[in-house]
Structure 1
Amino acid sequence: MVSIQELDPSASPLDHYGWELRRRREEHRLTQQRLGDVIFCTGSLVGQVETTRKVPTREFSERVDAALGTGGTLSRLIGLVLRSRLPAWFRPVAELEARATYISTFQTQVVYGLLQTPGYARALLAVDYPDKAEEMVAARLERRRVLERDEPPALWVVLSEAVLMQKAGDREVMRGHLAHLLTFRDNPWVQIQVLPFGAGEHTGPMGPFTLFRFDGDPDIFYIDGYDRGHMTANPPVIKERSFGYARLQATALSVEDSAALIARVMEERHGD
């Protein structure tokens, strides 16, 4: 077990967070238990966060900031902490999401991470990472904050119909997840289309991929792999995949018909 006295705030974002939490708590002469009482959690949880045995959440951070009057210090740190909990190979992709002005993605098996609910994400991540599922869910939810900015990226998602059929979690989780997708119907910056089974052959047989566009920087093409991905800014690849994506959009159901299909699947397959 790491002693709090041994924490080096420069060792990692999580160490920095634990060190800062302890420093701020002691400035106010509060015990771990007393701070826990104030922010509606256990003193044990406060201690686990201070000693890096537990990854904090954004809600925890905001409550501590309010209780200790930190001026938002921990709420600013939590973004770095949660990003550090992403798999190392995926962190560059998360950085692309944070910088992009336009994201277009095709998904064949699961919903794109920025649109996942906590329950859906937890069901997926618990399969391979049962001991780290909660912190990885928190990291995935942190990625979604890019859609809440004053100037969010434009996000266009084409989902294979198989994504709607593939169960993740129980019926309640799936129903809640599909209902969440429907909340984007009136969002001008998020467009969701479904590529139906009846579409037959299409231009995305190699699997899921994403195109990132930026203001002033070259476009990036990213394709998923089992435990790593591949990205490139090669102009011929960008041209080919951009055209291929446009064809997927043309082949898929309209945004309105896609929403109707999602609602129908939600009721018929995952309803009461």
Structure 2
Amino acid sequence: MVNIRSLDPSASPLDYYGAELRRLREEANLNQAQLGDIVFCTASLIGQIETAKKVPTRRFSEQLDAALMTGGVFSRLVGLVLKSQLPNWFQPYAEMEAKATYISTYQSQMVYGLLQTEEYARAVLATGLPDDLEGLVAARMERQRILSREHPPMAWVVLDEAALHRPIGGREVMRNQLAHVLGFRASRWLRIQVLPFAAGEHASLIGSFTAMRFDGDPDIVYTEDLIAGHMTANPDTVKEAALRYAHLQASALSVEDSAELIMRVMEERYGDQPGPDQRAVA
């Protein structure tokens, strides 16, 4: 006999999602294997999600809605589930990020989170040795949906050249990541500049920061330390961040020259390389 774990739907969004999935599946007179066949996954995955042992993805949720004819219940619920997977200290920032009308960020070590590919994000998040890596990756991918909204925030990203050269996840992951960044060139709402090594000392040697602007609310500046993140609406801090960001933009390459540098690094550092038994053709 299958041992069915008893869930408390009020314990978390993930528990509620699992309880609803089990309830609606049973109402449809489907066992886990039958539902799995319909949504192209294993019975084991259905069971893990029903018992809150695994985090559902948005695509899985959309497939469930179609299979169980729920009217979009799981597609609406999955956003709350994925947000709940973020660290507690990060959730307030994610909520403000989703409300921002303008985002300006300087990233000194890695590609900005909203621009990361799934493989790159997985490699970055794995460095924190999390208990549920896949849940964190899914949550980061969910955050990126703000860039594809009908009215996305205006975003301006300054990447330190170091972020292009640090081989996070390996060569193939980095090549795909830089190609993904280049794919935003056609975006009306997003601009990317690279702060080159040649700039030398600059206005944010102390590290990365993000500023957010809102309709009707004070601007916010966000920074992170080793353990957590910090938001402030202190006017003096906001003014200082704006000044430093202006200097960073002035020191950075133009949007066009930045794209050329990203493309050059992608090809020269992460492109196809001759193996030990091959020679480059002139």
Normalised by the length of structure 2, the TM-score is 0.94
Q: Does 1:64 align with 2:37?
A: no
Does the 8 Å CA contact 1:85/1:135 hold for their aligned counterparts? yes
Aligned residue type for 1:243: L
Structure 2 unaligned runs (5+)?
A: 273-282
Question: Paired residue for 2:214?
Answer: 214
Question: How many percent identity over aligned positions?
Answer: 64
Asked if structure 2 preserves the Cα contact closer than 8 Å seen for 1:125 and 1:136, the reply is yes
Alignment pair present for 1:117 and 2:156 = no
Partner Cα distance (2:37, 2:226) in 1: 43
Shift of 1:127: 2.3
- Per the alignment, residue 157 of structure 2 pairs with 157
Aligned pairs for 1:35-114 within 5 A? 35-114=35-114
Instruction: Please give the alpha-carbon distance, in whole angstroms, between the structure 1 residues aligned to 2:130 and 2:247.
Output: 38
- 1:50-106 per-position Cα deviation (integer Å, ceiling 9, x unaligned): 011111111111111111111110011111111111111111111111000000000
What amino acid sits opposite 2:244 in the alignment?
A: G
Q: Distance in 2 between matches of 1:136 and 1:130?
A: 8
Alpha-carbon distance change, 8 to 174 in structure 1, aligned in 2, over 3 angstroms? same
Indicate the RMSD between aligned Cα atoms, in angstroms. Answer: 1.1
SS at match of 2:90: helix
How far apart are the structure 2 equivalents of 1:134 and 1:265? 29
Go from structure 1 to structure 2 and tell me whether the alpha carbon gap of 1:130 and 1:211 turns closer, same or farther (over 3 Å shift).
Answer: closer
SS at match of 2:127: helix
C-alpha change, 1:200 and 1:5, in structure 2 (3 Å) is closer
For 1:167, what is the secondary structure of its paired residue? coil
- CA deviations over 1:161-192 (Å, ceiling 9, x no partner): 00000111121100000000000001011100
Instruction: Provide TM-score, normalisation by structure 1.
Output: 0.97
Does 2:269 match 1:269?
A: yes
Q: Any gaps of 5 or more consecutive residues in structure 1?
A: none
Q: Counting helix residues as a fraction of each chain, which structure ranks higher?
A: 1
**Large movers: runs of 4+ above 6 Å:** none
Cα pair 2:82 2:139 within 8 Å, conserved: yes
Give the direction of change, closer, same or farther, for the CA distance of 1:4–1:227 in structure 2 (3 Å limit): farther
Letter in 2 for 1:66: A
Residue pair 1:4, 1:19 contacting (<8 A) in 2 also = no
Counterparts of 1:130 and 1:174, CA distance in 2 = 22
